[in-house]
Amino acid sequence: MKNIPENLKYAATHEWAALEQDNLVRVGITDFAQSELGDIVFIGLPDVGRTVSANEQLAVVESVKTASDLFSPVAGTVVAVNEAVRDEPEKVNEDAFATWLFQIKADNAAELDQLMDAEAYQRMIEE
């Protein structure tokens, strides 16, 4: 697999998470996930203001092949969604790691420690 950014955390369900200032966590799907899905045609994003638990399903990505649920890596509140991907979901295919989908204000950013680092994620997708 090509470039897996070292500065991100990874879920077994193929979401990436980036911790930013003030316990804000940006979330997207990995390059591996978008390549497995194929051409993405729709992304259903969560409502801003929604309170979520860690590992709760809160979004969906649909491709020409299948649909895949997305899960929250942390408990918290959805504070932003990437409106651009509603109109141009193919942006995820073009650069999955540069295209965030939603942002959560984490109740406890330490929950990210439960996720994989780049090396562990690489091993998982090679199995």
pLDDT tier at 2, thresholds 50, 70, 90: low
Mean pLDDT of the chain: 96
Q: Which residues of 100-121 are buried (b: 16+ CB within 10 A; e: fewer)?
A: bbbbbbbbebebbeebbebeeb
What's the mean pLDDT in 71-97? Answer: 96
More reliable by pLDDT, 3 or 77: 77
Q: Is the pLDDT of residue 115 over 80?
A: yes
Q: Which two tokens stand for residue 126?
A: 């090679």
Q: Across residues 112-125, what is the average pLDDT?
A: 97
Distant-in-sequence contacts of 118-126, Cβ < 8 A, 24+ apart: 118/4, 118/5, 118/6, 118/8, 118/10, 120/10, 121/4, 121/10, 121/30, 122/1, 122/4, 124/10, 124/12, 125/1, 125/32, 126/1
The pLDDT > 90 percentage for the chain reads 96
Please give the domain boundaries of the chain with CATH numbers for all domains.
9-112 (2.40.50.100)
pLDDT digits (tens, 9 = 90+) for 20-77: 999 999 999 999 999 999 999 999 999 999 999 999 999 999 999 999 999 999 999 9
What's the pTM? Answer: 0.95
- At 3, the pLDDT band (50, 70, 90 cuts) reads confident
